Amino acid sequence: MMVRPFPWRDAMAIGFGVLRLSSRDFWALTPRELAAAIEGLSGRTHQPMDRAAFEDLARRFPD
């Protein structure tokens, strides 16, 4: 299985360019908060992440 890196460039483009967040505010967001802000712009496009997908994401991007 090929693991894709987190799309930081896209996330920063939306956070800084579209939402006009400061660096401090952007980096203080949780992934869930950023996802909610993006959904506010584009609408919900899929179902919430299930437990297996969350565990896979946590394994690929540990804190």
| Model pLDDT for residues 42-62, shown as the tens digit of each residue | 776 667 778 888 888 888 888
pLDDT bucket at 41, cuts 50 / 70 / 90:
confident
Q: Is the pLDDT of residue 20 over 90?
A: yes
What value does the mean pLDDT take over residues 9-23? 93
| Model pLDDT for residues 24-34, shown as the tens digit of each residue | 999 999 988 98
C-alpha–C-alpha distance, residues 18 and 21, integer Å: 8
Buried-state track 17-42, b at ≥16 Cβ within 10 A, e below 16:
eebebeeeebeebeeeebeebbeeee
Domain ranges of the chain: 8-60
Tokens found for residue 35: 């996802």
The larger pLDDT score, comparing residue 20 to residue 4, is at 20
pLDDT reported for residue 53: 85
